[in-house]
């Protein structure tokens, strides 16, 4: 099995994510995404290897725990995480794509209020106010420009320090 999340036994190996690990539920693990496209970007990963939400082997218990864990952390992030300017997210995008890594997981991406740079960029795509800006474009811009991001420019030590701050917040919730 060639899976970025699993060990040889078909289960997620949480030891692969020492600086990112947040919690383990009955059927999922929760980690910070290494990219931090948006501060607090979190992954909920089904512990047992299942390809996607329609996998015939996915049990009802696994599905419920997966959805409940997504809900809990999306709600927690929305109410508790802040960007570097001290703003809480306006939304938590929940992305389940499954094209890149064929292992059931979801991205929880905090969407903070737009800053001036965001507004200028999105005006290229949309005519009016922030009400029509966001969604796919918010995530796509960050993904495409990740290597230019403030987080990417940090040293490994600085990234690990940032992970520790966020994990402490999430574990204390």
pTM value > 0.85: no
With cut-offs at 50, 70 and 90, classify the pLDDT of residue 125: low
Q: Is residue 42 part of a domain?
A: yes
Q: State the pLDDT at residue 116.
A: 65
β-strands 28-32, 42-46 pairing = antiparallel
Range of the domain at 132: 14-165
Enumerate the β-bridge partners of residue 23.
30
Q: Is residue 143 part of a domain?
A: yes
What CATH number corresponds to the domain at position 19?
3.30.428.10
Q: Is residue 3 part of a domain?
A: no
Q: What is the pLDDT of residues 159-168, one digit of tens each?
A: 889 888 888 8
Q: Is residue 6 part of a domain?
A: no
Number of independent structural domains in the chain: 1
Q: Is residue 87 part of a domain?
A: yes
Q: Is residue 32 part of a domain?
A: yes
Decide if 110 contacts 41 (C-beta within 8 A): yes
């Amino acid at each position: 099995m060639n899976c970025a999340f699993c060990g040889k036994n078909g289960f997620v190996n949480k030891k692969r994510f020492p600086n990112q690990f947040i919690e383990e539920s009955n059927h999922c693990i929760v980690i910070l995404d290494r990219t931090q496209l948006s501060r607090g970007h979190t992954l909920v990963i089904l512990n047992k290897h299942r390809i996607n939400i329609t996998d015939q082997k996915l049990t009802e218990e696994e599905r419920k725990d997966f959805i409940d864990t997504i809900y809990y952390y999306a709600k927690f992030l929305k109410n508790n995480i802040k960007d570097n300017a001290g703003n809480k997210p306006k939304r938590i995008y929940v992305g389940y794509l499954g094209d890149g890594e064929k292992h059931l997981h979801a991205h929880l991406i905090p969407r903070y209020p737009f800053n001036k740079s965001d507004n200028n960029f999105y005006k290229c795509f949309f005519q009016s106010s922030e009400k029509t800006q966001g969604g796919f474009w918010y995530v796509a811009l960050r993904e495409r420009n990740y290597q230019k991001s403030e987080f990417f420019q940090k040293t490994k030590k600085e990234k690990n320090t940032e992970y520790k701050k966020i994990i402490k917040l999430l574990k204390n919730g």
